[in-house]
Amino acid sequence: MDKFSTLVEAAECAITRCKSWNFATSDEKYDPKTLLALAETSDDQDPIDEDCYYVVSPSGAIGYCGFDESIDWLFLTGTSADDDLPTTYIEEPQIKFCPKCGNSVVPGANFCGVCGAKLG
């Protein structure tokens, strides 16, 4: 699942995975153009708190995460993949590798723990 700070960024990602959505609490349907327009309006008129974020599922559903990491799914794709959407966000660790020695490094590290090369 991918994490975004604006609804526009989330919508741009979602349209690469799906071509139509239903609003989670109504029968309103959205295509990519209307989803992006709604996202732009939402970001302009009601930006989210800096500690909150949006997530996009592998199928293209879009959810909102508040302070407690629970996901409020806003836009669903209508596919069977939506039946298994998680209720909380768990960040998956990203494995990075040292460009000098190739060993894996801890995400966020400034130096490689094996060879000491500066990372980033």
Dump the DSSP string for 66-101: -TT-BEEEEEE--SGGGGG--SB--PPPPPEE-TTT
**97 closest CA partner among 82, 109, 83:** 109
Scan for tokens 């996901």, then name that residue: 71
CB 9 within 8 A of CB 43: no
Query: What pLDDT does 67 receive?
Result: 83
30-85 per-position pLDDT tens digit: 999 999 999 999 999 998 998 899 999 999 999 999 888 899 999 999 877 788 89
CB 75 within 8 A of CB 24: yes
Give the residue-averaged pLDDT of 20-30: 91
Report the phi/psi class of residue 108: left, alpha or beta, with left for phi > 0 and alpha for psi in -120 to 50: left
Give the pTM: 0.74
Q: Does residue 95 register a pLDDT over 70?
A: no
CB 71 within 8 A of CB 85: yes
1-10 per-position pLDDT tens digit: 889 999 999 9
Q: What is the CA radius of gyration of the chain?
A: 18
11-22 per-position pLDDT tens digit: 999 999 999 999
Domain boundaries along the sequence of the chain? 2-84, 93-120
pLDDT band at 103, cuts 50/70/90? confident
**61 closest CA partner among 96, 35, 95:** 35
Least reliable range by pLDDT among 2-6, 73-77, 101-105, 109-113: 109-113
